[in-house]
C-alpha cells in the first residue's frame, strides 16, 4: 500500500510539473525512463530549460540580428528553434497528411503551414514570422505529428523561409517573402533521432566526414526544437539540422552563379540507360507524381537530353569508350572518395549497397557529380542491412559490399570504374588515407560529441557508444586492404 501511495503522490507531482511545462508531450520521456526519480529529474531538467528559453526570448524580444550561415552550423554554438503554430495551423497540418494518406496511402503531403520561428544562437535571438512548415521523410519515416492518444511527437520536417503561401505575384508582401532567406538559406531540414542514436550525431558526423574529404554534401548540425501550439509547449527535443539540396547549396559548394540540372534519384535510380520518359520529370507531390529522376532545378526547362546522354554514355558496350566518356563527363575522384568514406561510415543504404539516397548534378558543361545524402543508418546505428550486410557492415569486404536479392538493377558508376586497376588502387588509397590521417577515428567523433554534450547534455540524455564500431571497422578495412594488395602483387 505504501508503494502504491508513493507512486500516486509522485504522479500527482509530475502532473503539476507537466502543467507548468504547458502540456509538454512527454510520451517518449515516460517510455524511456524506468524509475520515479528519473522521471522527476527528467521533468525538472526540461522545466528548467523551458524557463531559461522563455527568459531569453522575453529579454531580447525585438532584437533582430542577421543570422549567419557559418554560425548556424557552428558546433560550438547552442542553437534553439521555437516553432509556434496556431491551433488551426497545427490541426491543418494533421488534416493535410491524413487526407493525403486516404488518397495515396502515404503521409507525404508537402503542403506548407504557417508558423512563427524564434531562433536563438546562444544569447542572440531572431524572430521570423510567416515561415512555411511541412513534414518530411519517405514512406517509412514520415508520420503524423501526434500519436494515437493525441500527444505531440517528433517528426522530420522542413522550414521554408521564402514560402509565399496563397499570395500571388504583384500582391503586397509577395516579393518580400519570395526573396527572404535565413542565414543565406531558403530552406532548413530537421530530422529527429528516429534510430535512437545515443550520441545524436550519427548523421552529422557522417556528413562532416564526407565534407572533410571533399565530397559535396550539405552542412549539418544540432539544435534543440520546441513546438508550441497557441503558446502552449507541446514538445521539446534535440534534432539534427541540415542544409537543403537546392540552388543555394549548389552555388556554395561548386562556387558558381548559373546553376545546372540537379536530380533527386529515387530508389534504383542508378543511371542505367533511360528508356522511358516516365522515368524523369518534375516532381508534383499534389498528385503523388515522383519520377525516378526528379528534376530539382531549372524546372521551367522541360529538357532532359543531358541526363539521357549521360546514362547512354556510361553504359556503352565498348569498355574503352565508356571509361573515356566517364573520364570526360563524370567526377570520378569525388565519387571514389564518397564510396571509400561510405565503407568506413557503414551505411548499407547508399548507391552501391541499395541503389538509394543520391542526387546527381549535371553542370552547364554536362559534367556530372554524385551527391550522397541520408546517413542516419550508419556508424553501427539504425538499419543494419541484414542479410546483405554482416555485423553492421563491419564483416563486408571493401569490394563485396552488400547486395540485396530484391535489387534487379545494375550500378554502372561503380562497376565501370572497378574494371580498371588504377581506380581500384585510388579507392584503396583513399580508404587508407582516411584512416591513417586520423580523420576517421574515435578521437574525431569524440571531439564532436564532447562539444555537443557540453552544450546540450544537461537537458538531453547523451552518451558515447562508437568506440567498438570505429575500432572494429578500422581493423577490418586495413585487413581487407592488405589482402587485396597482396593479391595484386
The string of DSSP letters for 39-92 reads: HHHHHHHHHHHHHHHHHHHHHHTT------HHHHT-TTS-EEEEEEE-HHHHHH
Which residue has better confidence, 61 or 330?
330
Q: Which of 145, 144, 180 is nearest to 165 (CA)?
A: 180
Which pLDDT belongs to residue 50? 66
3-state secondary structure of 352: helix
For residue 19, name the pLDDT band (cuts at 50, 70, 90): very low
Q: Give CA–CA dist 143/152, Å, rounded.
A: 11
Checking if the pLDDT of 21 tops 60, the result is no
Within 13 Å of residue 315, how many CA atoms lie on the same side as its CB?
Answer: 16
Q: How confident is the model at residue 57 (pLDDT cuts 50, 70, 90)?
A: low
What distance in Å separates the CA atoms of residue 95 and residue 280, rounded to the nearest whole number? Answer: 30
Mean residue pLDDT across the chain: 90
**Residue 64 or residue 207, greater confidence:** 207
pLDDT of residue 47: 63
The least confident of 39-53, 150-164, 395-409, 446-460 is: 39-53
Q: What domains sit in the chain, N to C, each tagged with a CATH number? A: 2-248 (no CATH), 255-488 (1.10.1070)
Asked if pLDDT for residue 440 goes beyond 80, the answer is: yes
* pLDDT confidence of residue 58: 56
Q: Report the pLDDT value the prediction gives residue 49, as an integer from 0 to 100.
A: 67
Query: For position 46, what pLDDT does the model report?
Result: 61
3-state secondary structure of 135: strand
Average of pLDDT values for 242-250? 97
Q: Dig out the grid coordinates for 415 from the structure.
A: 562497376
Beta-bridged to residue 372, according to DSSP, are 358
Report which of 482, 463, 458, 437 is spatially closest to residue 41, judged by C-alpha positions: 458
CA separation for the pair 162, 171 (Å, rounded) = 15
Q: Whole-prediction pTM value?
A: 0.88
Of 360, 361, 356, 388, nearest to 375 by C-alpha is 356
Residue 88 confidence (pLDDT) above 80? yes
307 CB contacts (<8 Å, ≥6 apart)?
A: 261, 263, 274, 280, 293, 360, 362
How many helices and strands (H and E) does the chain possess?
A: 16, 12
Q: How would you class 7 by CB atoms within 10 Å of its CB: exposed for 0-12, middle for 13-18, buried for 19 or more?
A: exposed
Asked if the model's pLDDT at residue 5 lies above 80, the reply is no
pLDDT score for 18: 42
pLDDT of residue 383: 96
- pLDDT digits over 292-348, tens only? 999 999 999 989 999 999 999 999 999 999 999 999 999 999 999 999 999 999 999
- In sequence order, what are the beta bridge partners of 331? none
Is 1's pLDDT higher than 70?
Answer: no
Amino acid at each position: 500500500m505504501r508503494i502504491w501511495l508513493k507512486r500516486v503522490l509522485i504522479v500527482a507531482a509530475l502532473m503539476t510539473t507537466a502543467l507548468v511545462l504547458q502540456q509538454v508531450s512527454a510520451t517518449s520521456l515516460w517510455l524511456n525512463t524506468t524509475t520515479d526519480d528519473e522521471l522527476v529529474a527528467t521533468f525538472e531538467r526540461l522545466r528548467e530549460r523551458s524557463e531559461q528559453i522563455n527568459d531569453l526570448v522575453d529579454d531580447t524580444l525585438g532584437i533582430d540580428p542577421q543570422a549567419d550561415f557559418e554560425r548556424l552550423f557552428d558546433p560550438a554554438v547552442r542553437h534553439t528553434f521555437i516553432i509556434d503554430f496556431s491551433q488551426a495551423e497545427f490541426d491543418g497540418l494533421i488534416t493535410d497528411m491524413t487526407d493525403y494518406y486516404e488518397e495515396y496511402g502515404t503521409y507525404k503531403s508537402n503542403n506548407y503551414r504557417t508558423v512563427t520561428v524564434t531562433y536563438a544562437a546562444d544569447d542572440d535571438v531572431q524572430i521570423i514570422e510567416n515561415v512555411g512548415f511541412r513534414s518530411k521523410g519517405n514512406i517509412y519515416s514520415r508520420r503524423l505529428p501526434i500519436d494515437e492518444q493525441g500527444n505531440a511527437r517528433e517528426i522530420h520536417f522542413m522550414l521554408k523561409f521564402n514560402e509565399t503561401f496563397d499570395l500571388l505575384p504583384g500582391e503586397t508582401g509577395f516579393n518580400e517573402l519570395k526573396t527572404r532567406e535565413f542565414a543565406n538559406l531558403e530552406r532548413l531540414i530537421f530530422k529527429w533521432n528516429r534510430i535512437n542514436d545515443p550520441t545524436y550525431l550519427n548523421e552529422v558526423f557522417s556528413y562532416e566526414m564526407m565534407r572533410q574529404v571533399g565530397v559535396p554534401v550539405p552542412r549539418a548540425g544540432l539544435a534543440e526544437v520546441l513546438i508550441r501550439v497557441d503558446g502552449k509547449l507541446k514538445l521539446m527535443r534535440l534534432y539534427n539540422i541540415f542544409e537543403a539540396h537546392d540552388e543555394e547549396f549548389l552555388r556554395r559548394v561548386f562556387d558558381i552563379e548559373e546553376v545546372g540540372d540537379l536530380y533527386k534519384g529515387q530508389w534504383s535510380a542508378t543511371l542505367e540507360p533511360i528508356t522511358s520518359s516516365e522515368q524523369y520529370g518534375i516532381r508534383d507531390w499534389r498528385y503523388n507524381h515522383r519520377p525516378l529522376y526528379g528534376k530539382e532545378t531549372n524546372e521551367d526547362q522541360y529538357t532532359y537530353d543531358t541526363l539521357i546522354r549521360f546514362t547512354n554514355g556510361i553504359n556503352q558496350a565498348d569498355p574503352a569508350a565508356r571509361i573515356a566518356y566517364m573520364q570526360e563527363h563524370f567526377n570520378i575522384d569525388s565519387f571514389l572518395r564518397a564510396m571509400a568514406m561510405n565503407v568506413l561510415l557503414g551505411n548499407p543504404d547508399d548507391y552501391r549497397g541499395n541503389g538509394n539516397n543520391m542526387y546527381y548534378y549535371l553542370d552547364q558543361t554536362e559534367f556530372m557529380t554524385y551527391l550522397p545524402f541520408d546517413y542516419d543508418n550508419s556508424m553501427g546505428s539504425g538499419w543494419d542491412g541484414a542479410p546483405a550486410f554482416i555485423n553492421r557492415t563491419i564483416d563486408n569486404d571493401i569490394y563485396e559490399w552488400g547486395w540485396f536479392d530484391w535489387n534487379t538493377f545494375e550500378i554502372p558508376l561503380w562497376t565501370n570504374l572497378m574494371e580498371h586497376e588504377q581506380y581500384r588502387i585510388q579507392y584503396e588509397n583513399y580508404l587508407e588515407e582516411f584512416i591513417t590521417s586520423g580523420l576517421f577515428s574515435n578521437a574525431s567523433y569524440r571531439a564532436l560529441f564532447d562539444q555537443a554534450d557540453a552544450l546540450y547534455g544537461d537537458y538531453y540524455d547523451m552518451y558515447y557508444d562508437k568506440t567498438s564500431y570505429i575500432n572494429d571497422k578500422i581493423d577490418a578495412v586495413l585487413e581487407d586492404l592488405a589482402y587485396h594488395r597482396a593479391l595484386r602483387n
